[in-house]
Amino acid sequence: MTTVLDRTADPRLLRGRGAVSNAAGRYERHGRVLIDDGWDDGWREGDDAPPPLRTEVIADATRTIIARNQSPDISFDRSINPYRGCEHGCIYCYARPTHAWLGMSPGADFESRLFAKPNAAQLLAKELSAPGYVANTIAMGTNTDPYQPIEKKLRITHAILEVLRDFRHPVGIVTKSPLVLRDADILGEMAEMGLARVALSITTLNRKLARAMEPRAGTPARRLETVKALSGVGIPAAVMFAPVIPALNDEELESVLAAAKDAGARSAGYVLLRLPLEIKDLFREWLEANRPDSARHVMSLIRQMRGGKDYDAQWHIRMRGTGPYAEMIARRFAMAVKRLGLNKELRTLRTDLFRPPRASGQLALF
């Protein structure tokens, strides 16, 4: 079994990261914890800061690129994740536990040891060309962000969009990054045909809170500017207020939706904080480190919306929760959407334009 090292003896190592630990995942038999016994010649209080935890990119040798699901409480049945792990470092990210499948920690490893799929575009073209393939919207950004920092250099998401455009295949994107504007030309062309939409995830307008929760994601102001820019070139833009965290960001629900509407967002959605598997411990650690005075209160409210537990994975409940507090959030969201005129035109992306290779090129002349 892989042994995961918890690189947290000196907290400065994780400066600029979301997780405050790197404990072994649930499949590991052993874990090691790095401690300072006082005899080491390493860093001492007052010394120069140690080198930060560096981001490592590993080639992912996946053989397929379209992931399928049959979940009854989400709006898509297929998705693409160009990357495993996410450098944005959002402490609440429900994709963190997937790193345990790789023998790594859902903590700091998830945001510093990343897997990239360099052959994603070629794999996608092959899968879309398969006989009998039926088009339906492909979701991107539902697990890890397709526009996280390494995309600027690797351009895997860009290559995927080129394939989707050429095949006239619909795509819906969720991101926290202004980098999506780099691909505004492709997305704009697709949007004109009813094939693309983009949602910006905005959890708070408080830059300090965003910095703590989502250390390497775009600032709230830049995300709003991205909504405005997308809308300005005809790309349908939405806002996702996700996750809603009681006693931490839930008071901003109305203000975030209003700011997004002013920026040009046409639609909105929300998801309640989810704490499956290792995330519950990572989130508690983060609360204790960043919100020690309110940590117990936040967790108490979370349990009130989860039937007394940290998390309830039941279909249709996992996204919205139960109980009075969850019902209040749902009512507030519905009232804000109605008042702001959001979600009036929720158009389904087109699938009838899908054009497999055999219908293109010279054959199209006959």
Which residue's structure tokens are 């690189």? 7
Answer yes or no: is pLDDT of 195 > 80. Answer: yes
Predicted pLDDT of residue 26: 77
List the strands of the sheet with 237-244, edge to edge. 66-68, 78-80, 138-140, 171-175, 196-201, 237-244, 267-272
* Arithmetic mean of pLDDT, 146-155: 97
d(CA 185, CA 167): 16
Answer yes or no: is pLDDT of 81 > 60. Answer: yes
The CA distances from residue 129 to 64, 66, 162, 163, 164, in Å, are 13, 13, 15, 11, 12
What 3-state class would DSSP assign to 124? helix
Contacts of 209 (CB under 8 A, 6+ apart): 248, 249
Predicted pLDDT of residue 47: 52
Q: Could you write out the DSSP letters of every residue in 251-319?
A: GGHHHHHHHHHHHT--EEEEEE----TTHHHHHHHHHHHH-TTTHHHHHHHHHHTTTTSS----TTTTT
- Residue 282 pLDDT grade (very low, low, confident, very high; cuts 50, 70, 90): very high
Q: Is residue 351 part of a domain?
A: no
Q: Is residue 69 part of a domain?
A: yes
Model confidence, pTM: 0.89
Answer yes or no: is pLDDT of 30 > 80. Answer: no
Q: Is residue 365 part of a domain?
A: no
Predicted pLDDT of residue 38: 53
Answer yes or no: is pLDDT of 82 > 90. Answer: yes
| Helix axis angle, 324-340 to 253-263, nearest 10° | 20
* Arithmetic mean of pLDDT, 74-99: 95
d(CA 282, CA 91): 7
- Residue 31 pLDDT grade (very low, low, confident, very high; cuts 50, 70, 90): low
Domain count, the chain: 1
Predicted pLDDT of residue 347: 85
In terms of Cα–Cα distance, which of 125, 156, 110 is closest to 18?
110
Predicted pLDDT of residue 317: 94
- Residue 24 pLDDT grade (very low, low, confident, very high; cuts 50, 70, 90): confident
Strand partners, 33: 6
- Which pLDDT tens digit goes with each residue over 218-258? 999 999 999 999 999 999 999 999 999 999 999 999 999 99
Q: Is residue 64 part of a domain?
A: yes
Q: Is residue 261 part of a domain?
A: yes
The pairing of strands 78-80 and 138-140 is parallel
The per-residue pLDDT of the chain, averaged, comes to: 90
In terms of Cα–Cα distance, which of 93, 102, 109, 87 is closest to 5?
109
- Residue 1 pLDDT grade (very low, low, confident, very high; cuts 50, 70, 90): very low
Answer yes or no: is pLDDT of 169 > 50. Answer: yes
* Arithmetic mean of pLDDT, 123-128: 97
d(CA 96, CA 230): 29
* Arithmetic mean of pLDDT, 117-139: 96
Q: Which domain holds residue 286?
A: 4-343
What CATH number corresponds to the domain at position 326?
Answer: 3.20.20.70
- Residue 7 pLDDT grade (very low, low, confident, very high; cuts 50, 70, 90): very low
Q: Is residue 163 part of a domain?
A: yes
Residue 85 DSSP symbol: S
Q: Is residue 195 part of a domain?
A: yes
- Residue 58 pLDDT grade (very low, low, confident, very high; cuts 50, 70, 90): very high
Predicted pLDDT of residue 10: 52
Could you tell me where the beta strands, DSSP code E, fall in the chain?
4-6, 31-33, 56-59, 66-68, 78-80, 83-84, 113-116, 138-140, 171-175, 196-201, 237-244, 267-272
- Residue 366 pLDDT grade (very low, low, confident, very high; cuts 50, 70, 90): very low
Predicted pLDDT of residue 311: 95
Q: What are phi and psi of 261, to 5 degrees?
A: -60, -45
85: left (phi over 0), alpha (psi -120 to 50) or beta: left
Predicted pLDDT of residue 364: 42
- Residue 157 pLDDT grade (very low, low, confident, very high; cuts 50, 70, 90): very high
Q: Is residue 230 part of a domain?
A: yes
The pairing of strands 267-272 and 78-80 is unpaired
- Residue 2 pLDDT grade (very low, low, confident, very high; cuts 50, 70, 90): very low
Contacts of 198 (CB under 8 A, 6+ apart): 172, 173, 174, 175, 180, 187, 230, 235, 236, 237, 238
Predicted pLDDT of residue 257: 98
